C-alpha cells in the first residue's frame, strides 16, 4: 500500500481515538485538532465555530498557533472561513501564489500564511463551522493527500460528535428571567388542606421553550398560574427579573401580568359577538404600546380573516386568534395551558408551527401539555409528579412542529 495512504489512515485512526476518549466537546475538538496537525506537520490550526447567535458569526474555538485569536471573527460567506462554512465545500490552497485570496494571505491575524486547507465541520445535519490548517512546519507545501486527510478528518470528527450526544454543543440558556424557589401551594376547603405544590424550584431562561409535563392533577396549572401572576404561592419565592412577587398585592400582580405575560388556554375564550380583529382590539385598549391587530393576525397566518366571527372559524383558527390576542401586548413570556388539547392533529401542528415562529423571534414560552410528542420541540422539558419537579431534561436536537407525529 502507498505509504501516504498508510500514513493517512494512521492519522485518522489516532484522531478518532482522541475524540472518542474525550469527555467534553472542548476536549474532543482540541485533541482531534492537535492529532491532525501533528500528522500533517502543519504549523497552525484553528477550529472556527459558528456561535449560534443571530448572524452566526464564526469565532475561533480552539487554535494551535502563537497568535491570540480571541478578537477575531468571520462573517458567513466572507473570507475562506466564511465561504467554507456557507458552501460546506473545502478550499485548498496547497501553496499560495500571486492572486490567491488576499485577505487570507496578508491579514490572517498576523500569521504569514503560505499554504492553507480549510474544510467544513459538521455533526450530522448540524453545521458547526470549519477547520483551518495553516502552513507546513518545514515551510513546504501541503500535499494533496494531506488535504484529503484533513477533509476526511473533519468529517469523521463530526460523525464521532454526532454519535456521542454528550459531546454535542450544549444548549446555552439565556439570562434567567423567572426564579422559583421552594414554592408551595395549599388549598384549604373547610378543615381539609390540600398540598398541591410541595416545594418547586425552577429557573426560566429568556427565549427558551419550556414544556411542563405530568399526570393530571400533579399541579401543572397551579404552577403556571403562579408564574403568570394569577395566583400567590403559599410559601416560597417567585421572582421575575429579580423582583419578588410571592407576596405582591393584586395591583402589582396585575401590572406584572399586563406588562409581561400573554396567556393561551385550551378554550379560546373569544367574544362570540366580536370578529377576530375586534377581539384583538379589545386588548389593545387595555395595554400600553399594543401591537396592531391586523399585524398580529398576519403573524398567526390569519391575514384576510379580520372580519370573521369565532363561529365562522375552525378550532385551530380560533386558537390562532387567541395566540394573536396574547401577542397584542408584545409579551416577553407566553404561558400556554394545553393549547392544543382540544384540537385534532392537523390543526395542532398549525398552532404549534405558529408558536415555533414566535419562539424563534425571541419570545419565551412555557407550555403545559399532556402530549409527549410536543416535548421534542422544547428546549427543556420539566416533568412534574405529585407537586414536585421530578426531572428536567435538555433537548439537544429540537424537532420542528411539522416533524411531530401522533
Ligand atoms: N382552587 C382550588 N381549590 C382546591 N383544590 C384545587 C384548586 N385548584 C387546584 N386544586 C387541586 O390541585 C391539584 C392540582 O391541580 P392542577 O390544576 O394544578 O393540576 P394539573 O396538573 O394542571 O392537571 P390537569 O393535567 O388535569 O390539568 C388537583 O388535585 C386540584 O383538584
Ligand atoms: Mg391543568
CATH of the domain at 395: 3.40.50.300
Domain count, the chain: 2
Q: What is the mean pLDDT of residues 26-44?
A: 83
* Rounded-to-integer distance, Cα 151 and Cα 277, Å: 56
Same domain (yes/no): 157, 225: no
Q: Which of 121, 52, 44, 116 is nearest to 79 (CA)?
A: 116
3-state helix, strand, coil in the chain (%, to 5): 35, 25, 35
Q: What is the pLDDT of residues 273-317, one digit of tens each?
A: 999 999 999 988 888 889 999 999 998 999 999 999 999 999 999
> What pLDDT sits at residue 87?
92
Q: Does residue 196 line the site of ligand 1, with CB under 6 A?
A: yes
What distance in angstroms lies between residue 122's CA and the mean position of ligand 2's atoms?
A: 41
Q: What is the pLDDT of residues 145-191, one digit of tens each?
A: 888 888 888 888 788 777 776 666 555 677 889 999 999 999 999 99
Q: Whose CA is nearest to atom 8 of ligand 1?
A: 222
Mutate to test the pocket of ligand 1, among 183, 187, 189, 214 (most ligand atoms within 8 A of CB): 187
What distance in angstroms lies between residue 371's CA and the mean position of ligand 2's atoms?
A: 13
Containing domain of residue 303, as a range? Answer: 176-403
Q: What is the pLDDT of residues 209-245, one digit of tens each?
A: 999 999 999 999 999 999 999 999 999 999 999 999 9
> What one-character DSSP code corresponds to residue 141?
P
> What one-character DSSP code corresponds to residue 74?
B
Q: Whose CA is nearest to atom 2 of ligand 1?
A: 187
pLDDT class of 95 with cuts at 50, 70, 90: confident
Taking the model in full, what pTM does it have?
Answer: 0.67
Same domain (yes/no): 106, 196: no
Same domain (yes/no): 146, 183: no
Same domain (yes/no): 40, 188: no
Strand ranges for 190-233 from DSSP E: 192-205, 209-214
CATH code at position 129: 3.30.450.40
* Rounded-to-integer distance, Cα 347 and Cα 352, Å: 9
Mutate to test the pocket of ligand 1, among 189, 197, 211, 220 (most ligand atoms within 8 A of CB): 220
Q: Say which ligand is closest to the CA of 198.
A: 1
Judge whether residue 124 has pLDDT over 90.
Answer: no
Same domain (yes/no): 157, 195: no
The C-alpha cell 502507498 sits at 2
> What pLDDT sits at residue 172?
65
Domain boundary among 146, 167, 188: 167
Q: What percent of the chain has pLDDT over 70?
A: 93
Mean pLDDT across the chain:
87
Domain boundary among 105, 133, 167: 167
Q: What is the mean pLDDT of residues 12-22?
A: 79
The C-alpha cell 410559601 sits at 235
Same domain (yes/no): 316, 355: yes
Same domain (yes/no): 79, 136: yes
> What pLDDT sits at residue 74?
86
Same domain (yes/no): 48, 163: yes
Higher per-residue pLDDT: 72 or 103: 72
Same domain (yes/no): 219, 310: yes
* Rounded-to-integer distance, Cα 153 and Cα 117, Å: 12
Q: What is the mean pLDDT of residues 103-120?
A: 73
Mean pLDDT lowest for which of 20-34, 188-202, 277-291?
20-34
Q: Are 270 and 281 a contacting pair, CB within 8 Å?
A: no
Q: What is the pLDDT of residues 337-359, one digit of tens each?
A: 999 998 899 989 988 999 998 99
Q: What is the mean pLDDT of residues 114-122?
A: 90
Higher per-residue pLDDT: 389 or 368: 368
Q: Does residue 194 line the site of ligand 1, with CB under 6 A?
A: yes
Q: Please return the burial class of 304, using the count of CB atoms within 10 Å of its CB with bins 0-12, 13-18 and 19+.
A: exposed
Domain boundary among 167, 199, 223: 167
Q: Whose CA is nearest to atom 19 of ligand 1?
A: 217
Same domain (yes/no): 230, 374: yes
> What pLDDT sits at residue 169?
58
pLDDT class of 268 with cuts at 50, 70, 90: very high
pLDDT class of 60 with cuts at 50, 70, 90: confident
What DSSP string runs through 262-313? EEEESS----TTS-HHHHHHHHHTTSSSPPPHHHHHHHTT-TT-TT--GGGS
Sign of CA dihedral 315, 319, 322, 324: negative
pLDDT class of 100 with cuts at 50, 70, 90: low
Same domain (yes/no): 180, 73: no
Q: What percent of the chain has pLDDT over 90?
A: 51
Same domain (yes/no): 148, 205: no
pLDDT class of 34 with cuts at 50, 70, 90: confident
Amino acid at each position: 500500500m502507498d505509504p501516504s495512504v498508510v500514513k493517512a489512515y494512521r492519522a485518522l485512526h489516532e484522531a478518532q481515538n482522541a475524540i472518542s476518549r474525550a469527555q467534553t466537546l472542548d476536549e474532543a475538538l482540541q485533541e482531534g485538532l492537535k492529532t491532525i496537525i501533528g500528522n500533517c506537520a502543519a504549523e497552525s490550526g484553528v477550529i472556527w465555530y459558528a456561535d449560534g447567535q443571530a448572524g452566526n458569526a464564526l469565532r475561533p474555538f480552539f487554535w494551535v498557533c502563537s497568535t491570540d485569536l480571541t478578537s477575531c471573527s468571520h462573517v458567513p460567506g466572507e473570507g475562506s472561513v466564511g465561504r467554507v462554512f456557507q458552501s460546506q465545500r473545502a478550499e485548498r490552497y496547497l501553496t499560495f501564489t500571486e492572486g490567491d485570496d488576499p485577505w487570507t494571505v496578508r491579514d490572517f491575524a498576523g500569521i504569514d500564511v503560505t499554504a492553507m486547507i480549510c474544510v467544513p465541520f459538521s455533526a450530522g445535519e448540524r453545521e458547526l463551522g470549519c477547520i483551518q490548517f495553516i502552513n507546513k512546519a518545514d515551510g513546504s507545501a501541503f500535499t494533496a493527500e494531506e488535504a484529503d486527510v484533513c477533509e476526511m478528518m473533519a468529517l469523521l470528527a463530526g460523525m464521532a460528535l454526532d454519535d456521542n450526544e454528550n459531546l454535542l454543543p450544549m444548549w446555552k440558556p439565556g439570562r434567567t428571567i423567572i426564579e422559583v424557589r421552594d414554592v408551595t401551594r395549599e388549598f384549604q376547603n373547610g378543615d381539609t388542606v390540600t398540598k398541591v405544590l410541595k416545594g418547586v424550584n425552577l429557573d426560566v431562561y429568556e427565549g427558551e421553550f419550556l414544556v411542563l409535563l405530568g399526570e393530571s392533577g400533579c399541579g401543572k396549572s397551579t404552577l403556571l398560574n403562579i408564574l403568570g401572576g394569577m395566583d400567590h404561592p403559599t410559601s416560597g419565592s417567585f421572582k421575575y427579573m429579580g423582583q419578588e412577587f410571592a407576596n405582591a398585592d393584586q395591583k402589582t400582580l396585575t401590572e406584572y401580568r399586563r406588562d409581561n405575560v400573554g396567556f393561551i388556554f385550551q378554550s379560546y375564550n373569544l367574544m362570540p359577538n366580536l370578529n377576530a380583529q375586534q377581539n384583538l382590539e379589545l386588548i389593545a385598549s387595555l395595554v400600553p404600546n399594543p401591537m396592531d391587530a391586523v399585524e398580529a393576525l398576519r403573524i398567526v397566518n390569519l391575514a384576510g380573516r379580520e372580519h370573521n366571527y369565532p363561529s365562522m372559524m375552525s378550532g385551530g383558527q380560533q386558537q390562532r386568534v387567541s395566540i394573536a390576542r396574547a401577542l397584542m401586548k408584545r409579551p416577553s413570556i407566553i404561558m400556554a395551558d394545553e393549547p392544543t388539547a382540544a384540537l385534532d392533529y392537523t390543526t395542532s401542528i398549525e398552532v404549534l408551527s405558529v408558536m415555533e415562529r414566535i419562539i424563534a423571534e425571541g419570545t419565551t414560552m412555557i407550555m403545559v401539555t399532556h402530549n409527549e410528542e410536543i416535548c421534542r420541540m422544547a428546549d427543556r422539558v420539566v416533568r412534574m409528579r405529585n407537586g414536585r419537579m421530578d426531572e428536567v431534561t435538555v433537548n439537544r436536537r429540537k424537532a420542528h412542529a411539522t416533524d411531530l407525529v401522533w
